[in-house]
Amino acid sequence: MKHTLALIISLALLTGSAYTADKKTKDTAAAEAKATSPKGAKVYIIFPKDGKSVKKKFTIKFGLKGMGIAPAGIKFPNTGHHHLIIDGAKFDMNLPLLASEQIKHFGGGQTEAAIELPPGKHTLQLVFGDHLHRPHNPPVLSKAISITVEE
Ligand SMILES: [Cu+2]
């Protein structure tokens, strides 16, 4: 089972998984029920910590409990990929998350990422998404943390 998932993941990584909200994804998302999340599933931001200051360029680390990582496009029970919501960007719980400067997809299955933000206060929140970039049912969200990006 573990090997099968690893194989699927490496195949997906080879074929690349740049996310575009193409028509096929939207049609599939409309026709297919959202993936479910198990009880107790949790995402959280390991680094930075709430209330701390960081440099302009820093590496954010994503934590996950009770579920597994799979790249975007790979349908496998109790898995998904991370999305980072910056400064409280709005999104619809029932639709594929858009991709923007404030909603970042980590569809390659990344568990950390180098990001750069302008100096000042920012909020960061994680939303776990299914193979079609939709929050699970029930949704798995982290607490929104506040950080200060140094000049
Ligand atoms: Cu996504």
Say how many Å lie between the CA of residue 80 and the centre of ligand 1. 8
Say how many Å lie between the CA of residue 58 and the centre of ligand 1. 21
Task: Indicate the pLDDT class of residue 11, thresholds 50, 70 and 90.
Answer: very low
Q: For the whole model, what pTM was predicted?
A: 0.85
Task: Write out pLDDT tens, residues 116-128.
Answer: 999 999 999 999 9
H or E element, residue 52: none
**CA–CA dist 87, 38 (Å, integer):** 28
Say how many Å lie between the CA of residue 151 and the centre of ligand 1. 30
Say how many Å lie between the CA of residue 21 and the centre of ligand 1. 9
Task: Write out pLDDT tens, residues 48-67.
Answer: 999 999 999 999 999 999 99
What residues contact 130, with CB distance under 8 A and at least 6 apart? 34, 35, 75, 80, 136
Q: What structural domains does the chain harbor?
A: 2-149 (2.60.40.10)
pLDDT the model gives residue 21: 62
Q: What is the mean pLDDT of residues 29-39?
A: 91
Say how many Å lie between the CA of residue 109 and the centre of ligand 1. 10
